[in-house]
Amino acid sequence: MAADLAVRSLLPLQILLYLNQWYYIFWLIIESLCFVFKGQTLPFASGVLAGEIILFIFLFFLDMFRIFFATKGNLTERIFGIVVSMILTLPSIGGSLYLLIWQHYVLRVELIINAIQLVFIILELILEIIAIIVFARTSS
């Protein structure tokens, strides 16, 4: 009976997801200010800045959904939410790499905040794999 009441959700994953929610608000503000600065001071080809801003906004909402599904999957101890979060992680890594390496102009502050974002994503992915193993092992 006591084994049925055991908590299987991962506390390190939940702490990382909580911190990542706050970090993404910080990231949104800093990245927005960087785009304003770049738009005012640096020359861009037609449509490039708009495309990067659209990607930035899409990436923000994608990561919020990814964090939401990971949080719900971890707290409810269900594999489905974690798997959805892992699927959303792939485009999130691609968008983060674009903002880190391949965007038209990369400021040093963007390099730092996007590298931190990528570290968050990779650590969460590792902990999500561990969570799936724990949930699958104890559910059978």
pLDDT at 2: 52
**Residue 120: is its pLDDT beyond 90?**
yes
Structure confidence by residue, pLDDT tens digits, 66-81 = 999 999 999 999 999 9
Angle in degrees, 0-180, between the axes of helices 11-41 and 108-139, rounded to the nearest 10: 160
Average pLDDT, the chain: 93
